[in-house]
Amino acid sequence: MSMNNVQSRQPSNLIPMIMLGTLFFIFGLVSWVNSILIPYFKVSCELTHTQSYLVALAFYIAYLVMSIPAARLIGRIGSRRGIMIGLWLMSAGTFIFVPAACTRAYSIFLTGLFTIGTGLSILQTVANPYVTILGPIESAAQRISIMGLCNKIAGILAPLLFAAVILKSTDNELFEVLKSNSVTGIEKDILLDGLIRRVIVPYSVLSLFLFLFGCTIYFIRLPELGNNQQEDTIHDNKDRKSIGSYPYLIMGVFAIFFHVAAQVISIDTIISYAENMGFNLQEAKIFPSITLSCALVGYFLGILLIPRFASQQLMLRISTVGGLILSVCVLFIPGTIQMYGHTTSLSIWCLCLMGVCNALIYAGIWPLAIHDLGRWINLGSSFMVMALCGNAFMPVIYGLIADHHGLRSGYIVLIPCFLYLIFYAFYGYKINHWSELWKLKKDK
């Protein structure tokens, strides 16, 4: 009987896993292209560092604003229709790039990015808890690592594809002319208009793809996820009056906030950091892909090691400590090497290696933060998705520091992020009641 049950589960889990892998690929495709959109908009829309990082703010603030409404929407219409609406919203957001490019209006671009982020917040609210509870909680980090591979492979391809479609071999001279202000007035406007309108065709194609993929979801049978899947834990949690009664969840929300903040800073700022060393945009575009390739190494380690050779908790601890060490190295490591004929600081390679550590942090936090939530599972997952707004705020803070004290000094924001992550990895996830946290403070 048990063998029959296992056999009956496998086909039903296979299709959702394939679909989730596709969704995470799409997440990566539209999210990590921001790493090259930021310097591209900086030139074509004539922005400061701080203004250019509003790309990340507009994109990820949607997670903070829309995650709880997204959870309520999914609760009413189901996960399958939620995925459809999420994809269609992303389609609408990418299409907004067309009028934005025609008018070279940065505010309209930001509106499009917010709309894309809104669609993604709906998809993330479905996808992350789906992956976590689609099998044993002990191997959840392994499944999240598989999804991470799909996400980061798309992330590696996104800036390279964008650069291949948008940028030309003669653009280095164009960028130098624009930065030097050797052209002004109508002539400069013509050059900038021509540059920004290159996004029209690729984003129109992407919009059509997202719309059609949303339509195909209607014909795919996906099991619905609801609170009834965790009803067996409710009787163990009668003393929990609200979701705030789960300190390991609340602290896990902050852990996700600081983790994604550290991750997006290491990826979305690296092109500008490389340009500061003398690289042009055509050469610097490779660095986000290098960082995401390092993340692939981390995901492969997670798939191979968890849970057979190392627990989720152990890998999370190693990754957070490694991230702190690399953050310190980014700020202070001396030495240079040659690349593409440029003298490259070793600090940028520490930034790239941070991808290995960041890969396993996300996979480690999710299962530790949402286990045994019972009837609070959907709301708890929404809080976790809301925490992805860390991607919105920290890059702007980095930009403010970079504008006033230099790009390298801006990476000091990584230190508090990893210090908190170390706390959660070693202590925070074990705290079941708030009284245990107060006791920990007294023991200190």
At residue 253, the pLDDT reads: 94
**With 80 as the cut, is the pLDDT of residue 241 above it?**
no
**Is pLDDT at 2 greater than 50 in this prediction?**
no
pLDDT digits (tens, 9 = 90+) for 273-296: 998 888 888 888 889 889 988 988
146-174, pLDDT tens digit by residue? 887 888 788 888 888 888 888 887 777 88
pLDDT digits (tens, 9 = 90+) for 195-210: 999 999 999 999 999 9
> Is 385:128 a contact under the CB 8 Å cutoff?
yes
pLDDT value, residue 438: 67
Say if residue 220's pLDDT is above 80.
no
pLDDT given at position 5: 45
| Greater pLDDT, 350 or 10 | 350
**Those residues with Cβ within 8 angstroms of residue 326's Cβ, 6 or more apart along the chain or in another chain:** 350, 351, 353, 354, 357
**Does the pLDDT of residue 141 top 80, yes or no?**
no
C-beta of residue 361 within 8 angstroms of C-beta of residue 259: yes
Provide the pLDDT for residue 234.
45
Does residue 134 or residue 393 have the better pLDDT?
393
In terms of pLDDT, which residue wins out, 79 or 61? 61
Strands (E), 291-440: 336-339, 342-345
Question: Who wins on pLDDT, 376 or 191?
Answer: 191
Residue 358 has pLDDT above 50, yes or no: yes
- Is residue 345 within 8 Å of 89, Cβ to Cβ? no
pTM above threshold 0.95: no
Question: What are phi and psi for residue 336, nearest 5 degrees?
Answer: -140, 160
Tokens standing for residue 332 = 């202070």
Three-state DSSP class for residue 42:
helix
pLDDT bucket at 342, cuts 50 / 70 / 90: confident
3-class SS of residue 338: strand
